[in-house]
């Protein structure tokens, strides 16, 4: 130990010291010239919302443990950090505080950067990005133009989700279940003209790509499959009587078409006005449509299924039977074709509606084991089914198709419809095109110009970025704030040179986070969004860590972007993230989610000031499996502090021995006693288990448990060892196995508690950073500890048995036997005259 260094463990002193040294050395900057194998690790881009609490610390610590471990394994690790800085929350917060969103955002970034550094994280800060900086969003705009050039960006009128509280439009993915993803408000529906990206063109590729993501949680892949919602079926046309029009329906159960008793259209279906124009039903239909136009999907789902008859009939393509056309509140224009064929005998929703509207029900499917001439469901006194039979079965009342199985009938009917020119095979998706425009200020301006002569014209790439004006009325106005900034709006058409206006809306912030992992590769390059050589070097991301809440939004969008970029040969492969890990949350001590509104958050600054970053890291990694939630525990973090103090005292007590070095070599070169063999077995099993766990399941709580077990084993070994003479250390009498165990303990602990291990490594005579050392290798010979049961006798009478390593020496066996209570009692106050040892079987102690 260097003279003047304190012997007390004071994390508030050693942690800032090492953080400053690491930063000065640029120790964690990824090498651009290394021939080591690359490892690209990311935690999801954080939103700079203000103060971080200990729940956030878990996410960053998880990634940091993996990053430090992979560096020690010899990888060239890229582990950058940045900020998802645009978006509605900053705008709302700024309005509430009378600040500019830039001022609010920049202050939060500075604060959060400081908090993350206090955790001892090993980020490459030289690559830091900020999505609200012009040098970043220039390339977000460039990517929008790339999408436009490929025909994937378009503007169209559509019924959209509107959050009345946040005063903004929401993509379908942000309004799942009819509520706002941020504030939980019930969304309204508005008919608006907005910009979209054709993510639906990539639906099949997005689905197929999931099959290759072996290191993604199955839960996330299932959520994405369900959201894409691929359905294979038949598109079938019903001609409308007295009108030159057809109503197309999509169905996966064409085998039930002979059971159709009505058609149901969504209120927004484009044919509604033509169906009722000039008829007696026009007034009631329009009133019904008007009452529903602003209601969200969630509100409609909660309503009793109702409808209104249009007065029109369509014809069933099989046989031409007349079918009444209804407008209903349970059919949504966004799904399928906005029209469904009502088969109340074989669909639950149709059954409910038809029952209440007194519409006929015609069973056409019976169970395969039943009689084809009887109804499969219970029948009421009126002769109607009491429930819908929704399974496959055998067709009945279906003309020439009667007697076929549902599967046979579906194929035969599809073929017949194609012959008639009335239908075809079709695939529909629940997925809708991505709505990317927002009527808000704090976002990247959409790089399009509206010209009276040429329509929408893209801004030339050399004119990017289209800068967000510093001043705009972000509250108290209708529509987009940018529309009220004349100097921004008025421009010239890039095509004809005439007067034109800029697009007043900004891009969804998910546009910024769909490609940020590529900007890290060339964050200071002004000429390209990322260098293709750097993409070949680093992409895709090897390990991605973030919450399950991003399964459908961010992760789906990023995969879509990457597939588009792969088509342009701008990235290697067609998936951006090879491995995905979803961390759980840190709850309050009352088991509620941590939030400012509940008043149960614990700031990172406070936890580090009280306990130290290493204790916080160790506790959060130990408290439970990283993928599960766990409650904060003051007792738990205090326990982590005690563990670190034990390690501190133990290592410093043997600092001089450790400074001698070469402990592993010396341990390999001597015959070991039984306690030494047991300790060495513990050391090498921990090397194997902890390394495999970090690289594999990431159950880091078991890693910390193994570290604690190793600490216990070392302390027990020291306690059981005879006291060394004063000159023992100088004579080199210390156990090399103990030295190896202590060094290994520090190396295995280093990714979890980087500061204390760095300090102790230096104090024990090492000149190089512990984080630049190689992860220790285990010796296969020491993974197995063959134990034998040895009977202990005293004066020829059995007094017990002990478990000892195979080929343990007699002295070790005697020492262990003397601690057995029944043996100890027989030896008390007596003299051992001799010992008779039968190898690996028996020890007889002869006493007087």
Domain count, the chain: 4
Write phi, then psi, for 762 (nearest 5 degrees).
Answer: -65, -40
CB 327 within 8 A of CB 312: no
CB 294 within 8 A of CB 186: no
Cα distance between residue 831 and residue 835, in whole Å = 11
What pLDDT does 350 receive? 95
Q: Which of 570, 602, 632 is the last residue of a domain?
A: 632
pLDDT along the chain (848 residues), means of 10: 70 97 96 92 93 89 98 98 93 88 95 96 98 98 98 90 75 71 76 93 97 96 95 96 95 97 95 93 93 77 88 95 96 90 96 94 88 52 75 96 97 96 95 92 97 97 97 82 96 96 96 98 97 97 94 95 98 97 86 72 90 97 90 92 97 83 52 82 96 95 96 90 51 73 97 98 95 95 80 93 79 87 90 91 92
Q: Which of 729, 763, 782 is the last residue of a domain?
A: 782
Structural tokens at position 573:
């492969």
The verdict on 310 and 423 lying in the same domain is yes
Cα distance between residue 518 and residue 394, in whole Å = 55
DSSP 423-434: EEEEEE-S---E
> pLDDT (tens digit, 9 = 90+) per residue, 569-616?
999 999 999 999 999 888 887 777 877 667 778 889 999 999 999 999
Instruction: Characterize 774-812 residue by residue with b for buried, 16 or more Cβ atoms within 10 angstroms of its Cβ, and e for exposed.
Output: ebbebbeebeebeeeebebbbeeeebbbbebbeebbeeb
Structural tokens at position 822:
């029944």
Beta strand residue intervals within 528-632, DSSP E: 543-546, 580-582, 586-587, 630-631
Cα distance between residue 253 and residue 363, in whole Å = 14
Please give the torsion angle defined by the CA atoms of residues 365, 412, 347 and 316, in that order, rounded to the nearest 10 degrees.
Answer: -100
Nearest to 47 by CA among 601, 516, 589: 516
Intra-chain end-to-end CA distance of the chain, in Å: 50
Beta strand residue intervals within 240-278, DSSP E: 246-251, 262-265
Domain of 807, CATH number, reads 3.10.20.590
Q: Are strands 38-43 and 76-78 parallel, antiparallel or unpaired?
A: parallel
What pLDDT does 383 receive? 59
What pLDDT does 668 receive? 56
> pLDDT (tens digit, 9 = 90+) per residue, 351-393?
999 999 999 999 999 999 754 444 455 555 455 678 899 999 9
Cα distance between residue 716 and residue 679, in whole Å = 9
- Is residue 172, in this structure, part of any structural domain at all? no
Q: Is 666 helix (H, G, I), strand (E, B) or coil?
A: helix
The verdict on 646 and 552 lying in the same domain is no
Cα distance between residue 477 and residue 394, in whole Å = 62
Domain of 278, CATH number, reads 3.90.740.10
Cα distance between residue 413 and residue 829, in whole Å = 99
Strand-pair partners of 834: 846
What pLDDT does 667 receive? 53
CB 387 within 8 A of CB 378: yes
- Is residue 183, in this structure, part of any structural domain at all? no
What is each CA distance from 268 to 180, 328, 563, 782, in whole angstroms?
22, 10, 33, 73
Q: Are strands 506-507 and 82-83 parallel, antiparallel or unpaired?
A: unpaired
What pLDDT does 810 receive? 87
CB 530 within 8 A of CB 158: no
CB 485 within 8 A of CB 471: yes
Q: Angle at Cα 489 formed by Cα 486 and Cα 491, nearest 5°? A: 110
Please give the torsion angle defined by the CA atoms of residues 423, 425, 430 and 434, in that order, rounded to the nearest 10 degrees.
Answer: -90
The residues, any chain, with a CB within 8 Å of residue 224's CB and separated by 6 or more, are 206, 210, 551, 552, 555, 556
Domain of 46, CATH number, reads 3.40.50.620
- Is residue 238, in this structure, part of any structural domain at all? yes
What is each CA distance from 402 to 268, 398, 841, in whole angstroms?
36, 5, 82
What pLDDT does 729 receive? 39
- Is residue 304, in this structure, part of any structural domain at all? yes
The verdict on 767 and 798 lying in the same domain is no
- Is residue 414, in this structure, part of any structural domain at all? yes
What pLDDT does 848 receive? 86
Number of H helices, E strands in the chain: 28, 31
Q: Helix axis angle, 736-749 relative to 674-695, nearest 10°?
A: 20
Q: What pTM does this model have?
A: 0.86
Q: Which helix (H) or strand (E) holds 288?
A: helix 282-292
What is the residue range of 654's domain?
A: 633-782
Q: Which of 616, 632, 648 is the last residue of a domain?
A: 632
Cα distance between residue 258 and residue 416, in whole Å = 14
The verdict on 76 and 43 lying in the same domain is yes
625 prior amide bond cis, ω within 30 = no
What pLDDT does 421 receive? 95
Domain of 774, CATH number, reads 1.10.730.10
The verdict on 626 and 637 lying in the same domain is no
- Is residue 159, in this structure, part of any structural domain at all? no
- Is residue 185, in this structure, part of any structural domain at all? no
- Order across the sheet with 448-451: list the strands: 455-458, 448-451, 499-502, 490-492
Q: Is 589 helix (H, G, I), strand (E, B) or coil?
A: coil
Q: Is 324 helix (H, G, I), strand (E, B) or coil?
A: strand
Local structure of residue 627 (DSSP, 8 states):
T
> pLDDT (tens digit, 9 = 90+) per residue, 753-772?
999 999 999 999 999 999 99
Q: Where are the alpha helices (DSSP H) in 84-241?
A: 88-97, 101-118, 134-149, 203-210, 218-228
What pLDDT does 727 receive? 43
Local structure of residue 576 (DSSP, 8 states):
S
Structural tokens at position 348:
């639950």
Residues in the chain: 848
CB 143 within 8 A of CB 561: yes
The verdict on 764 and 662 lying in the same domain is yes
What is each CA distance from 747 to 120, 215, 431, 691, in whole angstroms?
16, 27, 49, 11
Structural tokens at position 7:
């012997």
CB 812 within 8 A of CB 804: yes
Structural tokens at position 406:
């549902």
CB 530 within 8 A of CB 522: yes
The verdict on 306 and 400 lying in the same domain is yes
Cβ–Cβ contacts within 10 Å for residue 832, how many? 13
The verdict on 258 and 403 lying in the same domain is yes
The verdict on 37 and 85 lying in the same domain is yes
Q: Which bin fits 701, alpha (ψ -120 to 50), beta or left (φ > 0)?
A: alpha
The verdict on 214 and 339 lying in the same domain is no
- Is residue 774, in this structure, part of any structural domain at all? yes
Cα distance between residue 574 and residue 211, in whole Å = 13
What is each CA distance from 399 to 259, 319, 388, in whole angstroms?
11, 9, 21
CB 188 within 8 A of CB 162: yes
Q: Maximum Cα–Cα distance for the chain, whole Å?
A: 122
The verdict on 600 and 514 lying in the same domain is yes
CB 620 within 8 A of CB 57: yes
Which sign does the torsion angle of CA 597, 602, 606, 610 carry?
Answer: positive
The verdict on 243 and 216 lying in the same domain is no
Cα distance between residue 60 and residue 122, in whole Å = 10
């Amino acid at each position: 130990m260097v003279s003047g260094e304190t012997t007390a463990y004071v994390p508030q002193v050693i942690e800032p010291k090492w953080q400053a040294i690491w930063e000065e050395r640029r120790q964690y900057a990824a090498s651009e010239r290394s021939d080591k194998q690359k490892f690209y690790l990311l935690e999801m881009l954080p939103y700079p919302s203000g103060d971080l609490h200990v729940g956030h610390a878990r996410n960053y610590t998880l990634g940091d443990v993996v990053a430090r471990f992979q560096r020690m394994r010899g990888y060239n690790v890229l582990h950058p950090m940045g900020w998802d800085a645009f978006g509605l929350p900053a705008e709302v917060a700024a309005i509430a505080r009378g600040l500019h969103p830039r001022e609010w955002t920049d202050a939060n970034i500075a604060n959060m950067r400081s908090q993350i550094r206090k955790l001892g994280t090993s980020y490459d800060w030289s690559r830091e990005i900020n999505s609200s900086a012009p040098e970043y969003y220039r390339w977000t705009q460039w990517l929008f133009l790339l999408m436009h050039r490929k025909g994937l960006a378009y503007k169209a009128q559509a019924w959209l989700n509107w959050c009345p509280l946040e005063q903004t439009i929401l993509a379908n993915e942000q309004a799942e279940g009819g509520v706002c993803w941020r504030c939980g408000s019930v969304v309204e529906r508005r008919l608006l003209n907005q910009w979209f990206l054709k993510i639906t063109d990539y639906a099949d590729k997005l689905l197929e790509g999931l099959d290759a993501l072996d290191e993604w949680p199955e839960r996330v892949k299932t959520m994405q499959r369900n959201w894409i919602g691929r359905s294979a079926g038949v598109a079938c046309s019903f001609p409308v009587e007295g009108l030159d029009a057809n109503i197309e329906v999509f169905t996966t159960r064409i085998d039930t078409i002979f059971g159709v008793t009505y058609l149901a259209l969504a209120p927004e279906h484009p044919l509604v006005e033509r169906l009722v124009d000039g008829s007696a039903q026009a007034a009631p239909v329009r009133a019904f449509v008007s009452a529903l136009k602003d209601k969200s999907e969630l509100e409609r789902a909660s309503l009793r299924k109702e409808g209104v008859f249009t007065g029109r009939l369509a014809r069933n393509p099989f046989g031409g039977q007349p079918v009444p056309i209804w407008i209903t509140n349970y059919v949504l224009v966004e799904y399928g074709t906005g029209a469904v064929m009502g088969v109340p005998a074989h669909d639950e929703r149709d059954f409910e509606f038809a029952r209440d509207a007194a519409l006929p029900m015609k069973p056409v499917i019976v169970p395969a084991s039943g009689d084809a001439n009887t109804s499969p469901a219970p029948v009421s006194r009126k002769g109607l089914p009491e429930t819908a039979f929704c399974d496959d079965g055998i067709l009945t009342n279906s003309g020439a198709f009667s007697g076929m199985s549902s599967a046979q009938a579906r194929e035969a009917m599809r073929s017949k419809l194609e012959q008639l020119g009335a239908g075809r095979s079709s695939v529909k998706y629940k997925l809708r095109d991505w709505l990317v425009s927002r009527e808000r200020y704090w976002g990247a301006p959409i790089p399009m110009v509206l010209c009276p002569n040429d329509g929408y014209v893209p801004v030339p790439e050399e004119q990017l970025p289209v800068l967000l004006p510093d001043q705009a009325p972000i509250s108290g106005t209708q529509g987009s704030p940018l529309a009220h900034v004349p100097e921004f709006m008025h421009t010239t058409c890039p095509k004809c040179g005439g007067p034109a206006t800029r697009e007043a809306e900004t891009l969804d912030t998910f546009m910024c986070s769909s490609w940020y992992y590529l900007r890290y590769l060339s964050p200071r390059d002004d000429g390209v969004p990322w260098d293709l050589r750097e993409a070949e070097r680093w992409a895709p991301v090897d390990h991605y860590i973030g919450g399950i809440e991003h399964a459908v939004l961010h992760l789906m969008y990023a995969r879509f972007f990457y597939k588009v970029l792969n088509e342009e040969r701008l990235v290697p492969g067609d998936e951006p993230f090879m491995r995905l890990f979803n961390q759980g949350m840190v709850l309050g001590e009352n088991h509620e989610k941590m939030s400012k509104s509940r008043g149960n958050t614990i700031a990172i600054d406070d936890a580090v000031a009280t306990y130290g970053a290493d204790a916080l890291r160790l506790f959060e990694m130990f408290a439970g499996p990283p993928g599960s939630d766990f409650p904060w525990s003051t007792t738990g973090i205090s326990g982590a502090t005690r563990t670190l103090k034990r390690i501190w005292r133990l290592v410093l007590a043997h600092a001089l021995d450790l400074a001698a070095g070469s402990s592993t070599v010396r341990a390999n070169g001597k015959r070991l006693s039984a306690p030494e063999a047991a300790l060495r077995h513990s050391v090498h099993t921990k090397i194997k288990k902890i390394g495999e766990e970090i690289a594999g399941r990431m159950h880091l709580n078991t890693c910390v448990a193994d570290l604690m077990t190793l600490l216990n084993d070392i302390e027990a070994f020291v306690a059981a060892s005879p006291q060394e003479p004063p000159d023992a250390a100088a004579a080199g009498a210390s156990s090399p196995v103990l030295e190896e165990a202590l060094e290994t303990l520090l190396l295995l602990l280093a990714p979890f508690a980087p500061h204390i291990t760095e300090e102790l490594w230096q104090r024990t005579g090492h000149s190089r950073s512990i984080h630049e050392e190689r992860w220790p290798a285990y010796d296969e010979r020491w993974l197995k500890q063959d134990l034998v049961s040895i009977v202990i006798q005293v004066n020829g009478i059995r007094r017990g048995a002990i478990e000892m390593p195979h080929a343990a020496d007699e002295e070790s066996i005697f020492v262990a036997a003397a601690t057995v209570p029944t043996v100890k009692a027989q030896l008390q106050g007596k003299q051992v005259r001799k010992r008779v040892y039968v190898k690996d079987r028996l020890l007889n102690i002869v006493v007087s």
